[in-house]
Chains A and B, each alone.
Chain A
Amino acid sequence: EVQLVESGGGLVQPGGSLRLSCAASGFTFSDHYMDWVRQAPGKGLEWVGRTRNKANSYTTEYAASVKGRFTISRDDSKNSLYLQMNSLKTEDTAVYYCARETGTTGIFDYWGQGTLVTVSS
């Protein structure tokens, strides 16, 4: 059974940093592109960024709203995905989901349960 479990959310002050983790199981993690998607309270879904797989050099892409502040990484030996968030703003407050792409396609076929990040003073 495919499982994605996020952790690391919490309350952080504006300008602060936080690192989210996503533990994957039930599939060959190293084969897949992996993404972060967020949802502000009461709002819609916003793609944050993704990491390609080893075959595609682990390259990363980001939404304009987070580029230069957020960094996505992965450790295939630990079946884990990470999101390092720096220079946090109040508008980064959201539930952050990790999501698996079907292969390398842009189709999100499995999602974690999400972890809440609150940026507030």
Chain B
Amino acid sequence: DIQMTQSPSSLSASVGDRVTITCQASQDISNYLNWYQQKPGKAPKLLIYDASNLETGVPSRFSGSGSGTDFTFTISSLQPEDIATYYCQQYDNWYTFGQGTKLEIK
């Protein structure tokens, strides 16, 4: 099974800050990597697919990059409504999620 390791597990930042989350795969997954946002009590929402493609309707402050085993998710200017837990997910070999990164406002 492919393991996905996200870091950090939690993060506190101020409004307007640039926020970066990383996700490392246990083996090469090419660009088969998605990012989701989950707000408390809600279903996950797709933000980024194929490592770097912004889902329709998602604000441009969200972005993703990487390929192979190392991936990065960035919020260029943190907004209050971005408070959520973020998950990466690989789909190169079945489907595995990272353990999540809980983002809080400082």
Contact = CB atoms under 8 A, between A and B. Distances in A.
A107 B31 CA distance: 12
Main secondary structure of the interface of B (DSSP, over half): loop
Contacts of A26: none
Interface in A28-76: 35, 37, 44-47, 61, 63-64
Interface of A: 35, 37, 44-47, 61, 63-64, 97, 102, 105-109, 111-114
B43 A44 contact: no
Interface of B: 1, 32, 34, 36, 38, 42-46, 49-50, 55, 87, 89, 91, 94-100
Given A44-B87, A102-B49, A108 B97 contact: no
Given A105-B91, A106-B32, A109-B55, A46 B45 contact: no
13 contacts: A44-B97, A44-B99, A45-B87, A45-B89, A45-B100, A47-B94, A47-B97, A106-B95, A107-B46, A107-B49, A108-B36, A108-B46, A113-B42
